[in-house]
Structure 1
Amino acid sequence: MTRGKILAIITGAISIFLALIYLILVELLDFRGEMIPAPVTMFIFGKGIISQEAIASLFWF
């Protein structure tokens, strides 16, 4: 076999391997169930619903 054919076989094997890993990963992530969106909250600044200080305290670690 020539070097080009060996390289083509190796490249094809790597491509098939990556495709199988991708399919397995997608199946594992899909197995977790339906994706439920995060709850949406409404922040209205200065309208008395939530103060800016309360929001700032949420982001201080």
Structure 2
Amino acid sequence: MERSKIIAIITGAISIILAIAYLIIVQILDYRDMKPAPISQLNQPPAIMATSWH
């Protein structure tokens, strides 16, 4: 085989491995039980900064 064909096969295999790893990671993250944030964390009043010019 020519060198360019070997490089193409290697890069193709790496691409497929990365794609499979990505799909596995996405499935693991999607499988987690996503719970909503507690109400106490959602309704925090915004921080207000006051400056006075003397």
Q: List, as ranges, runs of 4+ consecutive aligned residues in structure 1 with deviation greater than 6 Å.
A: none
TM-score normalised over the length of structure 2: 0.68
TM-score normalised over the length of structure 1: 0.61
Q: Relative contact order, CA 8 A, sep 6+: which one is greater? A: 1
Q: What secondary structure, in the 3-state scheme, does the structure 2 residue paired with 1:28 have?
A: helix
Unaligned runs of 5+ in 2: 49-54
Match in the other structure for 2:30: 30
Match in the other structure for 2:19: 19
Unaligned runs of 5+ in 1: 47-61
State the alpha-carbon separation in 2 of the partners of residues 41 and 15 from structure 1.
Answer: 45
**C-alpha distance 35-5 of structure 1, shift in aligned 2 (>3 A):** farther
- Give the superposed CA RMSD: 2.3
